[in-house]
Amino acid sequence: MNRTVDPKQLNGLALAYMGDALYEQAIREHLIYSGKTKPNRLHVSATGYVSAKAQSFLIGKMIDQEILTEEELEYYKRGRNAKSYSKAKNADSKTYSQSTGFEALIGFLYLTGEADRLQELISWCIEKIEET
């Protein structure tokens, strides 16, 4: 892959664009590997992990439990504060902004090659959702 862009220079929405796809894929893999195979059930189950509401809940827990580094928090805020021109279908603007920040953090970790940390946080997210 040709890397002509420094991921640390990307805006929050570009990071969130990548993070959205990556987190969705991780959740789909988790659901498939846990034995869920019916398409409608997969979609309904995935929503519990990837909705704006779920992502806002998760990032709030991460912040409350102080599990993010200063740099990770900075990239979350970059995404959260980005001016989006789209609206969430089922979330208020605060929830949607927090969700965008969550996705920006995931995108940042992926694009900077932080695979172990990315996997650690995704596993943490799955645990938190399954506890609720």
Say yes or no to pLDDT of 2 above 70.
Answer: no
Structural domains in the chain, sorted by start: 8-131 (1.10.1520.10)
Q: Is the pLDDT of residue 12 over 90?
A: yes
What is the per-residue pLDDT across 58-103, written as a single tens digit (0 to 9) for each?
999 999 999 999 999 999 999 999 987 777 777 889 999 999 999 9
Q: Which pLDDT band, with edges at 50, 70 and 90, does 106 fall under?
A: very high
Angle at 15 between CA 46 and CA 99, to 5 degrees: 45
| CB environment 9-42: b (16+ within 10 A), e (fewer) | ebebbbbbbbbbebbeebbbebbeeeeeeeeeee
Lookup result for tokens 């894929």: 25
Determine the pLDDT at residue 38. Answer: 87
Examine the pLDDT at 15 and tell me if it is beyond 70: yes
Mean pLDDT for the stretch of residues 5-24: 95
Tokens 């409608």 -> residue: 40
Active-site pick, 20, 64, 92, 116:
20
Helix (H, G, I), strand (E, B) or coil at 18: helix
Query: Which residue's entry shows tokens 């970059």?
Result: 78
Q: Based on the residue annotation, tell me whether 20 is a catalytic residue of this protein.
A: yes
* Those residues with Cβ within 8 angstroms of residue 58's Cβ, 6 or more apart along the chain or in another chain: 102, 125, 128, 129
For 105-112, what is the mean pLDDT? 97
For the question of whether the overall pTM of this predicted structure is more than 0.75, the answer is yes
